[in-house]
Amino acid sequence: TFPLHVPRALIYPEGGMSAKGHIALINTQLAQIRVGLVLAHALGRKLILPSVICGYDKAWYALSSGRAKGAFAGAPHFVVPIFNCPLDHYLE
């Protein structure tokens, strides 16, 4: 694995996170992961994915604020940004 370089301005944008800001944050990190995958493949190695930061949460229903309140009463919810973003939030 390797550490991702993520500019602080993408994690904490002035005025708060937006959908465009979240996409820019994820795309910046995915570009670095792609390079890591290419290098791992060229060297015949396996890549352990680095921790990714998400600007918004993900749910099967609309998130007007980008934050989920939990699937049921008392369920934990993520505080954004999410510093160890679950894999299914950015890869399908």
Exposure on the CB side of residue 64, measured as CA atoms within 13 A = 0
What pTM was estimated for this model as a whole?
A: 0.79
pLDDT of residue 81: 87
Task: Give me the average pLDDT of each 10-residue run along the chain (92 residues).
Answer: 94 89 94 97 97 81 56 56 87 82
Q: Got the DSSP string for 50-80? A: PP--BSS---SS--SSS----SSTT---PPS
Contact in structure between 90 and 54 (CB atoms under 8 Å)? yes
Domain residue limits, the chain = 8-89
